[in-house]
A = this chain, B = another copy of it.
Amino acid sequence: MRRVAMVGAGMTQFGELFHLGIKDMLPMAVGEAVASVDKGFDRGDIGAAWFGELVSTDGFASGILADSCGLLDIPVSHLENACATGNDAVRHGVMAIASGMYDVVLVVGADKVRETSTRTTFWDWMGMTRDSAWDFPLGLVAPANFALHVNRYLHESPATREHMAMVAVKNHRHGVSNPKAQLRFEITIEQVLNAPMVVEPFGLFDCTPQSDGAAAVILVAEDVVDRYTDRPVWVRGVGLGVDRVMHAHKRDMTTFPPTVKAAKQAYAMAGVGPGDIDVAECHDCFTGVELINYEDLGFCERFGAHKLVEAGETSVGGRIPVNPSGGLKAKGHPPGATGVAQCVELFEQLRGDASNQVDGARVALAHNIGGPTAVSAVTILGTARGG
């Protein structure tokens, strides 16, 4: 297969961006990605583009990207895969280049959660990311959805709410140095445990904030990479896994099968294993979910996640730092942008340019789990081109 490199990456601030619309954020993220290309970049080189967005606030999604970023002479498509949208969009960029149809593609993700249009309410939003005929009318909004899993996980594994709190404390600490993060302040275990309850077992600080934001990456074929940079980041592997939509059909609430499937595909394609990962950005929409992710991604054995976080192994400075950007928890979570922004962070990590740098990082993993825990996307990046 034709190999694919990431040569540019950029993102907006994540946060409550009431002063910015989608049409403002898209050019900001794309502009930063273009400016990050070492040897300069002509937008006319872009052969095709993908826009990952969950819910349109401004209407026709692919047209809005094309129009606001001056991409009128190339194909532009809109992709949606719940909270796995961002890394699935990257996967599509990789396929497009590997196919030989395009040498250079743009992958953009964005969402405005803090401003829904007059016609699209927050509840449309929630309904479209789960089974809206059955689970959703019964109250299965995102926090309730993940709470079903994490309650069972706390019951079956030795992990406790304290371990969940350690995840929040770690990710907030990581986010302090990230200028793009939404919540740049440290918190304590006590604050997490004593915060108002959202839904058992998630207190306020166990939950990601709701965010607006956009992120963009530029992917190119191995044949042309030298035109753009001497220090590319290679997309070594991509994977996407799915599962049944309704919670009545899940066989084991303590694991997310889509993550296991997506990771298996991505590891195989990259020719690496969990032990090769130097740094990861994984989907900590709720603290307990990050613990389950450690296990599903193979960073530790089943029900061993609490030991990892207890020992500080997933902190920057530890064996396998997770969410050095602050993660969804502190950096923020505009769903369409999240996976792309994870790749922006890892692009910087692998080039030694990150705000919270993991020393000597050479192989990195990005991960989303989304929808009714029914889809996951994994991207593996590396400094080496791969065999």
Contact = CB atoms under 8 A, between A and B. Distances in A.
Given A119-B124, A242-B71, A60 B99 contact: no
A92 interface: yes
Nearest to A372: B60
A276 to B, nearest CB: 21
Interface stretch (A126-134, A160-168, A340-348): A126-134
Contact of A63 (B66, B73, B94, B242): B242
B136 A75 contact: no
Nearest to A125: B119
Most B C-beta atoms less than 10 A away, residue of A57, A60, A79, A135: A60
Interface stretch (A80-88, A192-200, A292-300, A301-309): A80-88
A115 to B, nearest CB: 11
Interface string A44-86: 0000100000001111111110110001111111111110000
A176 interface: no
A75 B242 contact: yes
Contacts of A59: 127-133, 135-136, 245
A120 B124 contact: yes
A362 to B, nearest CB: 24
Interface string A318-345: 0000000000000000000000000000
Q: How large is the interface on A (under 10, 10 to 19, 20 to 34, 35 or more residues)?
A: 35 or more
Interface string A219-239: 000000000000000000001
Most B C-beta atoms less than 10 A away, residue of A64, A71, A242: A242
B76 A78 contact: no
Given A60-B374, A72-B244, A243-B72, A99 B95 contact: yes
A101 interface: yes
Nearest to A117: B132
B244 A67 contact: yes
B58 A131 contact: yes
Contact of A119 (B82, B94, B132, B374): B132
Contacts of A60: 82, 128-132, 245, 371-372, 374-375
A57 B92 CA distance: 25
Contacts of A66: 242-243, 245, 374
A151 B302 CA distance: 66
Most B C-beta atoms less than 10 A away, residue of A57, A77, A82, A92: A77
Given A63-B371, A95-B96, A131-B59, A77 B77 contact: no
Interface of A: 1-2, 21, 23, 48, 56-64, 66-67, 71-82, 88, 91-92, 94-96, 98-101, 117, 119-121, 123-124, 127-133, 135-136, 239-246, 249, 261-262, 265, 371-372, 374-375
30 contacts: A1-B99, A1-B100, A2-B99, A48-B240, A56-B132, A58-B133, A59-B128, A59-B132, A60-B130, A60-B374, A60-B375, A61-B80, A62-B82, A63-B243, A63-B374, A67-B245, A75-B239, A75-B241, A75-B262, A76-B375, A77-B79, A78-B81, A79-B79, A94-B99, A95-B95, A95-B99, A95-B101, A98-B100, A99-B99, A119-B124
